[in-house]
Amino acid sequence: MANVLCVLYDDPVGGYPTSYARGEVPKIERYYDGQTTPTPERIDFTPGELLGSVSGELGLRRFLEERGHRLIVTSDKDGPESVFERELPEAEIVISQPFWPAYLTAERIAEAPRLKLAVTAGIGSDHVDLQAAIERGITVAEVTYSNSISVSEHVVMMILSLVRNYIPSYQWVVDGGWNIADCVSRAYDLEGMQVGTVAAGRIGSAVLRRLKPFEVGLHYTDRHRLPELEQDLNVTYHPDVESLVRVCDVVTINAPLHPETEHLFDDELIGKMKRGAYLVNTARGKICDRDAVARALESGQLAGYAGDVWFPQPAPKDHPWRAMPHHGMTPHTSGTTLSAQARYAAGVREILECWFDERPIRDEYLIVDGGKLAGAGAHSYSPGNATSGSDEAARFTAG
């Protein structure tokens, strides 16, 4: 019997849904590059259900209990008295999400002698100390591509919300006003602007494809040059981030978090951006220096900042991004739409089926395997630790 410890976000304030706005979600069998969507032997949920919260359990309970395993599902993940901390020493498998991450620091990995597999329900495994996982021989896997398009759609929404000054304009309506001058005094057309992505992997390239019809100039920088992308979309390549940000009116960050990208957007780099540029970050909060972003919005160096990623997560109640001017922040929701949940829940099931049946996990799902970076991890990550400082998340519930 395996102890499977699963950390998910809380149910809705009003209780777990008994009905949904739509009766179904579109069924997708392949992604843009031809990769198939998850292919478990079966699923025990209806696509479109709220699977990512505690009561949803990723649709895993029946599957695991039929095989004789024990499933523990909790949202209580921070602090020494948390359910996660108490159950971790006996866990063989830990499942977590980027949206409500159970930070598997080196210290926590040391407390979990039975831990063999860490699964991310979604994409982005930086809440795991990858170096510690490598040294312990722990397999790390995520459901690659499961919510990439979900995030790219969110990026386009946030770019338009900032440039068109949507959120303050909506607030005038809610407050009973009709203040057109106030609404448009910070509103512009996206048409004709220069828009660049930091990294053009699955999410970054999907953002570029979706922005092409807006008749903007497109730019990218990436570890790997992509001639086909440049030709198909007429995108300009930049050899480094600095050259990209100097010419762009809008910059979107779509890179994984690892030691080389941590605090990449600091005072110095933001200072090289066009004055009045917009910055959108749906990648990882720690890629941006928290206080540098707030300062840039106060000074006007940035006209707006939006995103749904913070560090730590959940963000403490006094996190400056909650109160800084001209922001469009949301909780980490871009990759956990009901549509995406159907895919990443199925992907977790597929990974667990392979694990228990001693079959190879899909290469594109692997981050760490056999004591080294593997699969998608070898392409996207660097060995190291991005979890430092995650204990600050405990202040969210304590504050």
The answer to whether 246 is a known catalytic residue is: no
Which CATH number do you get for residue 97?
3.40.50.720
Q: Give the pLDDT confidence score for residue 140 in this predicted structure.
A: 98
Name the H helices within the chain.
61-66, 83-87, 106-110, 130-136, 148-163, 166-174, 180-184, 202-211, 227-233, 241-247, 267-271, 290-299, 338-356, 375-380, 394-398
User: Running DSSP on this structure, what letter comes out for residue 361?
Assistant: P
The answer to whether 147 is a known catalytic residue is: yes
Q: Same domain for 318 and 344?
A: no
The answer to whether 327 is a known catalytic residue is: no
Distance CA 196, CA 229 (A): 13
In a domain, 212, yes or no: yes
Q: Same domain for 164 and 313?
A: yes
Q: Same domain for 108 and 154?
A: no
Overall size of the chain counted in residues? 399
Q: Give the pLDDT confidence score for residue 384 in this predicted structure.
A: 74
Greatest extent of the chain over all pairs of C-alpha atoms, in Å: 65
Give the end of a domain, one of 329, 344, 364: 329
Q: Same domain for 21 and 98?
A: yes
Q: Same domain for 313 and 201?
A: yes
Q: Same domain for 19 and 89?
A: yes
In a domain, 303, yes or no: yes
Q: Same domain for 131 and 200?
A: no
Number of domains in the chain: 2
Q: Give the pLDDT confidence score for residue 165 in this predicted structure.
A: 98
Q: Which of 281, 267, 261 is nearest to 386 (CA)?
A: 261
Q: Give the pLDDT confidence score for residue 399 in this predicted structure.
A: 55
Q: Give the pLDDT confidence score for residue 52 in this predicted structure.
A: 98
Q: Give the pLDDT confidence score for residue 389 in this predicted structure.
A: 67
pTM score of the predicted model: 0.95
In a domain, 396, yes or no: no
CA angle 64–67–73, rounded 5-degree value: 20
Catalytic residue among 313, 326, 341, 349: 313
User: Running DSSP on this structure, what letter comes out for residue 129?
Assistant: -
Catalytic residue among 219, 284, 343, 362: 284
pLDDT tens, N- to C-terminus, the chain (399 residues) = 999 999 999 999 999 999 999 999 999 999 999 999 999 999 999 999 999 999 999 999 999 999 999 999 999 999 999 999 999 999 999 999 999 999 999 999 999 999 999 999 999 999 999 999 999 999 999 999 999 999 999 999 999 999 999 999 999 999 999 999 999 999 999 999 999 999 999 999 999 999 999 999 999 999 999 999 999 999 999 999 999 999 999 999 999 988 889 999 999 999 999 999 999 999 999 999 999 999 999 999 999 999 999 999 999 999 999 999 999 999 999 999 999 999 999 999 999 999 999 999 999 999 999 999 999 999 888 777 667 767 777 766 765
Residue 244's DSSP bridge partners are none
Catalytic residue among 108, 127, 326, 332: 332
Q: Same domain for 113 and 214?
A: no
Q: Give the pLDDT confidence score for residue 96 in this predicted structure.
A: 97
The answer to whether 284 is a known catalytic residue is: yes
In a domain, 319, yes or no: yes
Q: Same domain for 165 and 177?
A: yes
DSSP 228-248: HHHHHHTEEE-SSHHHHHHH-
In a domain, 399, yes or no: no
Residue 169's φ and ψ, nearest 5 degrees, are -65, -40
Q: Same domain for 223 and 350?
A: no
Q: Same domain for 340 and 284?
A: no
Q: Give the pLDDT confidence score for residue 383 in this predicted structure.
A: 79
In a domain, 228, yes or no: yes
Catalytic residue among 3, 97, 147, 165: 147
Q: Give the pLDDT confidence score for residue 387 in this predicted structure.
A: 73
In a domain, 255, yes or no: yes
Q: Same domain for 115 and 188?
A: no
In a domain, 395, yes or no: no
Q: Which residue range(s) make up the domain with 305?
A: 148-329
